[in-house]
Structure 1
């Protein structure tokens, strides 16, 4: 199949993932933002069955979505096990509803298949002084490794802390690429966590191409699939800018 755009690290296909994916191989990680089916936008129709489709090509997946989307379509994710969820704090509301809390967040859920210890997962860390947190009163040092249901429970004090599960990244107010665009900074964290260095990320709902930009920044490759030609054209122009693109055009 001929790609719409390709360079040394990114390949973009124009078409429906149902038709394109069988022509492709396996990937280290899927990172994608499917249509939630919650707006009146002409393209916002949830594509039933897509999680089963990508399960044939990867054992690790981050999927953005609302809790309504995940609960309404829970059977689609039966092929996967849930690892964890993070929350993207957009910094401003995007819902027009006036009879609910102002929604300023979206979820990203990490799913996996097969034995957990066989998968690549490297939790990102930040310096402990970030976000104004005080240093702990006492310092814990490594002892005999113990395990809980979540993994190792002892650690070495390095002056860093695990990145927290609520990720703040203001949503672009211009909407110049895609109205549901995700921040590159958030995608970088998800990719660093679940895709090994030098690995390849798959995005079956490529949209603005942010997944590919984040993959470039982190030293990974990316394969994108997008069914809207006008979006592919815009994404190809963005990707042609190279790795200096952080969160979309100025």
Structure 2
């Protein structure tokens, strides 16, 4: 009986997930207007409700999960993750990522390989100190824009973006939501994580970069379109909000410093990130 219930729960959860993927946006009509609501949040809401209804988890276990004083506390993890995302979003709103992307695009280079190396480097550096999700969401449209105007294949740049964002996000605990969740659940501090993962993360990033060069070496030898520089420069803009960009970068630097020394002063990472958001 327990096996049957387990299989039923898994099947229902799978069906819900598939339906959400196939229908990512729900349309509701209200007073003649159509309201669009994303449906991805339904997975994280309905599946726990099903587990509760089936008795797979108890209300007490749910309560302990959000009130536990240990590092494995969902609220603490969310505070840390959302606080770091806040910095990335502010940099995005200020046009910092767009500015970096357009700076790369507008360089007068005839060699695709040089541009590829520069692009990979910028994505890698920004990913280490911000969030890989924000970097991917921000840079993908600019890869399309750049490739279209330059008359080149966007695939090497798209793959490089994904690889750089996912490998270099290993270096710091804040680079990826998975890092935050696992490290918090194991009670790993910011500096402890850095000591262990800095070298493997850098090795993964550099080795994957070499592999990308080898895989796409033929495509990267193709010349750029003659008119790409004029088109890219025409779309070049300065920072949308220089003040916000500077404040956000200073805030990010302060956060890195305090997170680094936090383990020595017995201050949890979520408290550090929350306090800095308050002063922001």
Q: Same fold (TM over 0.5)?
A: no
Question: For the superposition of Structure 1 and Structure 2, which TM-score range results when normalised by the shorter chain?
Answer: under 0.3
Which entry has the higher C-alpha Rg, 1 or 2?
Answer: 2
TM-score by length of 1: 0.24
Higher fraction of helix: 2
TM-score by length of 2: 0.22
